[in-house]
Amino acid sequence: MSDVSASATSDGQSGQETPPRLPPIACAPWCRDGSGHTNAQHPDDQYCDTGYLVVELQRQPPEQISEGGAFHRHETTIALERDPFCEPHVSWYMTGASAGRLTIAEARQVGTHLVHLADIADQP
């Protein structure tokens, strides 16, 4: 069996090739990386994020990810992100669904509505 983790270098010797490093981008002040994302494989991967805030959803029935596997609670995950050459946006992920992207104004509006509805639910 051959070793697929090693590859030939330009001088014919076996070894790990190091991909070329990308030039750093100017990170957003809130970026958890902050280094310019020079380890990204592609310029599209050089995006800033705050880290992901996760809420487990108790009202969603648990889902079995694989047949015979364990049941998992659905989650919603939220992060502030900024793709290269774009304005920041809030990404809102739900388990098993593609991300929704909100402008900052839309995120504030959704947040206001969520707090309003939670306040209604808390009223006696």
Contacts of 102 (CB under 8 A, 6+ apart): 89, 90, 91, 92, 110
The Cα–Cα gap between 15 and 8 comes to: 6
The two tokens of residue 7 are: 């590859």
Residue 22 in the binding site for Zn ion (CB under 5 A): no
The Cα–Cα gap between 26 and 15 comes to: 33
Residue 48 in the binding site for Zn ion (CB under 5 A): yes
Q: Which of 16, 20, 27, 90 binds Zn ion (CB under 5 A)?
A: 27
Among candidates 98, 105, 8, 86, which has minimal Cα distance to 46?
Answer: 86
Show the site string, 83-122: x = touches Zn ion by CB under 5 A, - = not. ----------------------------------------
Q: Which of 22, 33, 76, 110 binds Zn ion (CB under 5 A)?
A: 33
Which of residues 48 and 107 has its CB atom nearest to Zn ion in the complex?
48
Positions in the binding site for Zn ion (CB under 5 A): 27, 31, 33, 48
